[in-house]
Amino acid sequence: MDHIDINNDNKKVVRSVSNVSSSSSQSSMKRFGGTEASTYSSDHDHEHVNHDLKVGQIVIRSDFADASAQQQAKIILERFNEGIKSSAFTDNPLLGRALDRVDISYFVLGHRNQVAELFDPRGERFSTVYSADPTVNIKYIGPILKTAKYYGAYGKHVLQVPPGHYAKAFTKNRPVLYGEGPHVIIDPTFQFDESAFENQNEPYISHSTINILRVPSGKLAKVWIGTQPYIFESRREPYVVVDAQFKLVQKESKKDDKSSMFYDATEPYICHGSIKRLIPHTGEVAVTYNNGILTIIPTPKDDKPVIIDSPTHNFEGFISTALQTCLFPSKETKQSAYNDNKHASSDEINLKIFQTRDSLRVGVVLVVAFKIVDPELAITKLGKEGIINHIENVSFADMGKAIQLSTLQEVMYFTQTKPGQKSDDNAIQTIQDRVKAHLARDLGEYGIELARLQIETMKVLDSEIAKKLAGQSVTSAEFTTKQASLAKEYDIKTTEARLKAETDNIALAQRGQALIAEAQAKLSSAQKEAEALLVKAEAERKVSELSGELYIKYPALFELEMAKIKAQAMQNATIYITPADKS
């Protein structure tokens, strides 16, 4: 018999979920800016929900689902007919009332005194057994397809659950779930609706007190169990809760929209009952109040959302700690100016108007860049909604005071834009420089760092003065244009002269290189001629030395050589005979 009683399990599960205090989600103490926050945790995973309860513990499995069709049919017959000693059917029509032949794919169902019996005629003729006993009532109910999903009679049932499905049934008025495969159930209290098959892939399966919830990746579910709220994060295993007070909170949507069952896990703030789930992004912090005490929660470092489970710990909102740039007057200030005077001009609404020392009205638009470096200090002193308003008011107050002490010319002369920037001691300090230095110190007392202050727009509201300034601007523009033209012309002339000088230098260098090459060639030729003469002289010297040695060794040769020299000399000589020679 496949049926099991889960009544005791129900009690255990209900007790394990209900006897949980919300304080179990409270983590160790954490401090931020000196304020203790003891009711939130970044590692909250609802440990008090029974994670040990698995689907296999509440779903009744078939112990012969993997058997062959013949074996399944045999097991069904054996279990369905268990305890029957005298069959109501026979395969010999002569012994009873013959019945029509049925196909081999059918069982036949009957009963003896309301004891149901299955019989497999295997396509052969069969009959019900004849009994002469009037107290024995044998009746043929009809053929049953062997693959029928459900059939039975008189407390005996066969349930064949299709693959990938559960069957939702009741026994003793308690819900049960059957897994895929055939089940033989002997239970007079068993109840089943033939349409009560549920696909196992459904994200939420509910059957009376049994609840199976599969939270997809990137989603989460809001759940109530009695008066206790829970947030179920995505995980591989489904959540199984057996409790009559289980309730899944769905978003407002169409009834058949399954996506309405879950919420995006990337939402920065999700509230469910006393549970607040926070994900402060980089560059921002969460502002909360724990029993009225300000608690700042920064971006978690463990890649997990921050979970607060306390009815007295409220979430106020997020506040940016990154660099912010604002234009003043703000939209709220402009709207307030319009509401106060609906006939005000556009300049009176869009500009902040001040009067200079020389009694001229000017309108300005300020650009203020700042960063909240101590959120707890800033919110404690100014309030979350009062930070921007305070920066605007203080900026205009300091700027207005500086403009009132300055002439129009001094007001319109501004250069430096960063507070704290070092400048030459002899340099002229503009009103912006003075305002920035004072404003930076003032905001620093509220945990705000001033990064930039600049007059974005300045407009002289006196039309005559504005025209004169416009004329001066035109003249200045013309002068600037002419000066730029002259500078450009000067650059062109300078470039041309530089190019010509470079060209001449290149030609002169080339001529010098040619002369050097010619001189080097002549020098090389002279060196070669001198070397030839030296070689010849050396050779002649060596010949002379050799000749002298030869003459010393052979004197006769020397005398012969002398005779040749004298003879040669005499050939070209002229002989003069004097009278003395004749005598």
Among 419, 434, 461, the domain-final residue is: 461
Residues 307 and 392 in one domain: no
Q: Which tens digit of pLDDT belongs to each residue from 52-69?
A: 789 999 999 999 999 999
Residue 399 lies inside a defined structural domain of this protein: yes
**pLDDT tens string 80-120:** 999 999 899 988 877 666 778 899 999 999 999 999 999 99
Predicted pLDDT at 406:
84
Q: Which residue has the tokens 């939209």?
A: 331
Asked if residue 469 has pLDDT above 60, the reply is: no
**Domain match, 178 and 264 both:** no
Please give the pLDDT value at position 485: 78
Measure the CA–CA gap between 176 and 191, rounded to whole angstroms.
10
| pLDDT above 60 for 472 | no
Residue 470 domain-assigned (yes or no): no
The mean pLDDT of the chain is 82
Q: What is the DSSP string of 367-384?
A: EEEEEES-HHHHHHHH-G
pLDDT attached to residue 306: 95
pLDDT at 1: 42
Contacts of 212 (CB under 8 A, 6+ apart): 55, 204, 205, 206, 238, 239, 240
Is 5 a member of any domain?
no
| The residue to which tokens 């049960």 are assigned | 176
pLDDT over 90, % of the chain: 51
pLDDT above 50: residue 570: yes
Among candidates 43, 17, 18, 23, which has minimal Cα distance to 310? 23
In this structure, the answer to whether residues 48 and 58 fall within a common structural domain is no
Give tens-digit pLDDT for 149-202.
Answer: 999 999 999 999 999 999 999 999 999 999 999 999 999 999 999 889 999 999
For position 254, what pLDDT does the model report?
Answer: 58
Q: Which of 402, 426, 461 is the last residue of a domain?
A: 461
On the question of pLDDT at 208 being above 90, the answer is yes
Same domain, 184 and 217: no
pLDDT for the residue numbered 581: 54
Which amino acid is located at 318 in the chain? F
**Residue 505 in tokens:** 């230098």
The yes-or-no verdict on residue 526 having pLDDT over 90 is no
What number is the average pLDDT over the span 419-445? 72
DSSP 243: -
63 lies in the same domain as 188 = yes
Residues 126, 66 within the same domain: yes
In-domain check, residue 80: yes
Q: Looking at 120-178, which runs of residues are DSSP E strands?
A: 127-129, 138-145, 150-153, 156-161, 165-171, 174-178
Q: Look at residue 572 and tell me if it is in a domain.
A: no
- For residue 47, is it within any domain? yes
Residue 93 DSSP label: G
Judge if 227 and 261 occupy the same domain.
yes
Query: Do 102 and 195 have their domain in common?
Result: yes
* 524 domain-assigned: no
User: Could you tell me the pLDDT band of residue 573, with boundaries at 50, 70 and 90?
Assistant: low
Nearest to 190 by CA among 404, 2, 448: 2
Residues 45 and 75 in one domain: no
Positive or negative, the CA dihedral 341, 344, 349, 352 is negative
What are the structure tokens assigned to 381, written together? 């002193």
Is the CB of residue 461 less than 8 Å from the CB of residue 353? Answer: yes
- Which runs of consecutive H residues, i.e. helices, occur in 305-446? 331-340, 346-350, 375-382, 387-404, 408-411, 431-444
What pLDDT, on the 0 to 100 scale, is given for residue 476? 57
Query: Is 335 found in the same domain as 303?
Result: no
- Backbone torsions φ then ψ of 426, nearest 5 degrees: -90, -5
536-550 pLDDT tens trace: 788 777 777 777 777
The stretch 304-323 carries a mean pLDDT of 95
Helices (H) and strands (E) in the chain, counts: 12, 33
Same domain? For 29 and 111 the reply is no
Q: How confident is the model at residue 26, as a pLDDT?
A: 35
**At 421, which CATH number?**
3.30.479.30
41 falls in which pLDDT band (50, 70, 90)?
Answer: very low
How does 398-429 read in b/e, with b if 16+ C-beta sit within 10 Å? bbbebbeebebebbbeeeebebeeeeeeeeee
Among the listed ranges 17-31, 224-238, 448-462, which one has the minimum average pLDDT value?
17-31
Domain with 425 in it: 324-461
Q: What's the pLDDT at 220?
A: 96
For residue range 231-270, list pLDDT tens digits in order.
999 999 999 999 999 999 998 765 556 778 999 999 999 9
The token pair at 71 is 């074996």
pLDDT digit string, tens, across residues 262-300: 999 999 999 999 999 999 999 999 999 999 999 999 999
Average pLDDT over residues 459-472: 65
Asked whether residue 58 falls in the same domain as residue 193, the answer is yes
Count of domains observed in the chain: 3
Query: 240 lies in a domain?
Result: yes
State which of 144, 178, 200 marks the end of a domain: 200
Over range 340-361, report the average pLDDT.
Answer: 89
